[in-house]
Amino acid sequence: MSVVDTVQMLELRTKKAAGLIAMLRKEKAELQEKFDLVNTHNAELEEYVESFATSNKIIEESIANAMENLASIEGLDDIP
């Protein structure tokens, strides 16, 4: 293989490498965008879970208080 052929092959390979790098950079940017979206959605879901847990605790406490109040009424269980 002559020097000219070697240089041309090197030039072709560098063009291919540059194209591959550009493609990978674009793919990386797309993946970063998807990651950011998923990360934001995950944070929203974490807030929802926290809110749900708080609401659930309030509901449980309210039910327990209602049951306690009903238990304090004498004769309630005797009514058919």
Residue 74: band (very low, low, confident or very high) from pLDDT cuts 50, 70, 90? confident
Mean pLDDT, the chain, rounded, equals 94
What is the Cα–Cα distance from 57 to 50, expressed in whole angstroms?
11
Calculate the CA dihedral of residues 29, 34, 39, 42 and round it to 10 degrees: 180
pLDDT of residue 1 exceeding 90, the answer is no
What is the Cα–Cα distance from 80 to 60, expressed in whole angstroms?
27
pLDDT of residue 79 exceeding 90, the answer is no
What is the Cα–Cα distance from 3 to 1, expressed in whole angstroms?
7
What is the Cα–Cα distance from 80 to 78, expressed in whole angstroms?
6
